Structure formats: C-alpha cells, structure tokens
Amino acid sequence: MITNWIQKIIKGVARINTMAATLSGVILLFITLSIFVDVFLRYFFNQPSIWITEVSTYLFLYVIFLGTAHALQEGMHIRVTFLLDMVGEKTARFIDIFTSLLAMIFSLVLLWQTSIMTWTSFEEDWTSPSMLNAPYAYIYLAMVLGSALLVLTFLGNIFSLINNNKLQN
C-alpha cells in the first residue's frame, strides 16, 4: 500500500521533470534565437541589443537546473561504469544506492544554500548591477526549483533501487 503511494509520487515527479525539461528546451530555443537576432543586429545594422546577453546568461541557469533532474531520471547523466562492470549485480546495486545517497545529500545542501540565497535576495531586493537591473531572486529561483526536483528524483531512484525495480521513467 505504501509502495503504491510512493510509486505514484515518483511518477508525478517524473511528469514534473519532463515538463521542466520541455520548458528548459523552449528556453534554450529562445536563447538561441535571441542570440542569432543580436548577432544579426550587431553585424548588419551596427545596433546590438542591450539586454540579450544578460538575459541569455540568466536564462541559461534555468536551462541547466530545470533539465538536470530529467537527465538523471532518464539515465542521461555521466556515469563511470567500469567499476560496476567488474562486480556482481548486488554489489553494483549497493554502489548505485550509496552513490545516489551521497549525490542526494549534496543536492539537499545545494537546495538549502540556494534557498537561503534566494530568500535573502527577496528580502534585500538584490538586483543586477547593469542597465537591466534584473531582480536576482527570480534568477536564483531556478536553482531552488532544480535542486528540489533533483532531490526528489534521487529519492525515487533510491527507492526503486532498494525495491530492486527498474528506475522509474
């Protein structure tokens, strides 16, 4: 009964990860097109934009942090498997659980620290020191969301490994 409930949560997180990765792709497309327009304006009309480079830099954080949990979920992250190939299946599963636990702890610390930084930037109204004067809180929010999704995805993977299931998609 609890297992079914947890698997429903894992599937829900997987759907959220897929939506976040799709949004990440749309943002990347926007960045690509806006940089193309900026290059075109700069070299053909000698009129570069004042916002595209800065906005693209900030949006790239969203691309990275919104896509990371989906990459983990789909097994698209970088892995060093030569050690796992040399040990038995049970040992390999134990190593997967252990490394996922360590990575989840790192992700929890990342979530904690980015949450503090984001909250402080909201409270103190931090803005970029540029003409755009962008509020950092909304930029940092991508790190909080991405870290939270990463923690939940690691939890789902650990649960699946412990129950000897294939990783949930």
111-140 pLDDT tens trace: 999 999 999 999 999 999 988 899 999 999
Which DSSP state fits 51?
S
Contacts of 85 (CB under 8 A, 6+ apart): none
Highest mean pLDDT among 81-85, 118-122, 127-131, 162-166: 118-122
pTM assigned to the model:
0.84
43-57 pLDDT tens trace: 999 888 888 989 999
